[in-house]
Structure 1
């Protein structure tokens, strides 16, 4: 579903993504992990059409991307869920407005039924339909953001730290929701995160990035057994265990 070959991205003189190559199967959940500034989110932005100056080959399904162009058919097939549910929703627009907008843009009918069905799918009570974002909790806002991303029935969800801004108890709810939606709808996930337990729960494989370069690609079982092959991957696991120990 996603094939990337030698993707390179520059921000001015900074070379932030270096020869990244990935193959992600249909229905797979794949994670990009690494410290801040490692290039994880930049890869997502290139796939989402938010970065126009890149080089390499990117295929999403049967569509090949070109730098500076994002084919219209991909907008329905590839959607993104952002890190901050407080910032990704317009403060003066209701839940209904947010879910209706993509339907209007793409000229889709049965809008009322589609919106009600999607509220049910993400576990958000219908009474929230005409509320504003400030009237919702963080978890409820992220459910709205996920619902908005799914309104066009995409094949691929790009997930940029989708739970990092939420309380721990709410994180678990959203992760369970995403896992269920992936199974029900046959979605392909590309997840960016620094949270290795999230990867262990939600993903099949992961790529470890450092300074824009892939250090290794591993199965999630290797992560669970602390058996990553690269020195940097093992450092990430040790750091995650140290944080967990401090929080315990």
Structure 2
């Protein structure tokens, strides 16, 4: 049987004495695009942070590409899995150029051909080479998010964690970034686990979704069920109607 790209088994995550995520089970197939949806505070981003090693207080099991995730920083894990954050300005160092930003993962991991890799990464996200030595404040929001995506791709990971990757952008720019993510997934064989509040984004980019409420998954559905309004759980239907959808009769 094929090994899932991401496997979460009985995952509980806490911040101090407060448990945020309760008993989550998920298996995301290699090459799949999967969304976590639900209201703010439901635990979606916390799951991404635990997978990425940014929320170490968890129990249960996390594995990526068949490799168990430990609780400590793991350099080898970064070669498999990278995260793109919601705020493209806050995630880039204000006093480092785009070249510095993209080169840093290569330097940390001792990878060669830095010049070629940086040029290739910029081209992959649709940025001209003239952006290479600019600073974040010299870029638009969409350009900054393209740099953040390029940085996540520098180590050639197979799994990408996307935390509301378009919510801080103008609507027209959101469409550009979503088309870019779809293109990169197709060209590089990427697996996506994305957090979003935007159900139309899920319909466009994802194959399946899990609906979360109060730290628990209440439903896992195919995106076809979302598009047809055939979600089963009452809370899932509430989210669907709130997004402007018409439930199936």
TM-score (norm 1): 0.96
- Tell me the residue number matched to 2:122: 119
> Partners of 1:64 and 1:180 in 2: how far apart?
29
Segments of structure 1 that go 5 or more residues without pairing to the other structure are 243-248
> Partners of 1:231 and 1:74 in 2: how far apart?
38
Pairing partner for 1:229 from 228, 232, 237: 232
Shift of 1:73: 1.3
- Tell me the residue number matched to 1:212: 215
RMSD: 0.9
Q: Deviations over 1:80-122 (max 9, x none)?
A: 0000011111111100000000000000000001100111100
Match status 1:39 vs 2:35: no
Q: Deviations over 1:193-243 (max 9, x none)?
A: 01000000000000000000000000000000111110000000011118x
- Tell me the residue number matched to 2:136: 133
- Tell me the residue number matched to 2:29: 25
Pairing partner for 2:55 from 48, 51, 54: 51
1:58-207 to structure 2, matched below 5 A, reads 58-66=62-70, 68-207=71-210
Shift of 1:15: 1.7
Segments of structure 2 that go 5 or more residues without pairing to the other structure are none
Shift of 1:70: 3.8
> Partners of 1:102 and 1:71 in 2: how far apart?
14
Shift of 1:52: 1.0
SS at match of 2:243: helix
> Partners of 1:183 and 1:128 in 2: how far apart?
25
Shift of 1:187: 0.3
Pairing partner for 1:11 from 4, 12, 15: 15
Q: Which stretch shows the higher mean deviation, 115-124 or 10-19?
A: 10-19
Q: Give aligned pairs, total.
A: 241
Shift of 1:173: 0.1
> Partners of 1:23 and 1:52 in 2: how far apart?
20
